Structure 1
């Protein structure tokens, strides 16, 4: 689906998420509504436990909302079946989780090639794109190394590379500056602006790092499951 047809990339309406245990109910998200367009960068700032990661996981299809609408490129993703939804999301969205979720038994090149093969790319095209992305990120010398052989900061860069690997129309980045040095953060912010301006990418970042606000078109504060616009 083309972003020329639908300028709204992500639309949320009254999204709720409630975690229930034997002793309590935790309202992780309380009626979240937002609308993000292509060629737009949005930043959500807030403390740990505010609900930022839960929100990104719901947008990426990893966690179902209890109530509310989640539209990606005009499609209500929770009204389509799981396998169709997964493929749809993989083709459109690049996701960088807060956790260092790399497959420990695969080297870095193999970790990056998986999402390409999952969306139907040939091995030849996939290897070329992995090589290009590793070079872009300055990670080419780590291609044959395993996650356990990399520092935390290097693993974060690999997760970012994996989010970028499919040339997605949308990016969801959870704490993207965590464990990165100042030069890497500077490069990241400039590259995200380039993606927005040259490719029309819709980018949603969740972070504690207020430096990210300098590139934001839309700014939000999240606390205790509620979202507030920052003017």
Structure 2
């Protein structure tokens, strides 16, 4: 921003250099069918370790979406499948994956806390679904056993496939959480040092 005297005494003309203004936010690009949020791991991050973990996190989002789109679940458990189909993938992307995304992007301890909250919900949900406590035992291990006992072998097989996906994803979520923990511990240590330094300077 520069200024120069005008031809009229007592006035100053302010010239604003647009190059000094912050760049506009990038346009939304996700999902492709109806973009509502900007999401670009490759462009936003140069740290390969961050990119690796974010790719894994995004893969988990896609896999959980595919799992909860399981056709057998939709046929045999319409209400539960509607929950899986809409709420779980959307919540997983925005609460868990995007929290990790912005946590790395902004070095935000708060975003990492949201990420761990999201992971806790996903892991607990996966455990309950896997065992079959949700839907009165009509899914997961309990559901598969009941279906086989009643002679519904095809439904039992599909429920078993869903169970395998659920167990694998839950394990992968636990692994990713364990991989992210060291970074958040380092970040908290840095924040503590900055706070301590500010206190000393204030004195």
| TM-score bracket, shorter-length normalisation | under 0.3
Larger radius of gyration: 2
Q: Which has the higher helix share?
A: 2
Larger RCO of the pair (alpha carbons < 8 Å, separation 6+): 1
Q: Which structure carries more strand by proportion?
A: 1
Q: TM-score, normalising length from structure 2?
A: 0.23
Q: TM-score, structure 1 length as denominator?
A: 0.21
